[in-house]
């Protein structure tokens, strides 16, 4: 099996959400089998900023599900969805 690099777009509940605190919560919520690579900010509109979370997991059963579930469970997260997934060579 190989590794897969994924980008998860995280939309906060509102523009008032503290993005630095949300980044810490995301880092803390990452499952053990997921390796966090980076978190970048993406302006959306009207002050709302999404976070793009890039992480690496083993290619296999379960895939990105546990990571998506963990991030979606964070209080200030409105949604989290995979926007890109690529196999590492």
* Tens digit of each residue's pLDDT (9 = 90 or more) over 23-70: 999 999 999 989 999 999 999 999 999 999 999 998 877 788 899 999
Token pair of 46 as six digits: 């009207």
pLDDT at position 59 is 86
pLDDT of amino acid 11? 98
- Asked whether the predicted pLDDT for residue 77 surpasses 80, the reply is yes
Looking at residue 8, its pLDDT comes to 97
CATH architecture of 3-87: 2-Layer Sandwich (3.30)
Mean pLDDT score, 7-33: 97
Alpha-carbon span 50 to 70, nearest angstrom? 17
């Amino acid at each position: 099996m190989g590794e897969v690099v994924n980008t998860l777009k995280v939309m906060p509940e509102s523009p008032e959400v503290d993005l630095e605190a949300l980044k810490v919560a995301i880092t803390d919520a990452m499952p053990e089998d997921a390796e966090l690579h980076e978190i970048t900010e993406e302006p959306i509109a009207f002050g709302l900023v999404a976070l793009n979370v890039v992480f690496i997991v083993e290619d296999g059963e379960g895939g990105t599900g546990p990571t998506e579930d963990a991030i979606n469970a964070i209080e200030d997260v409105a949604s989290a969805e995979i926007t890109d997934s690529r196999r590492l060579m």
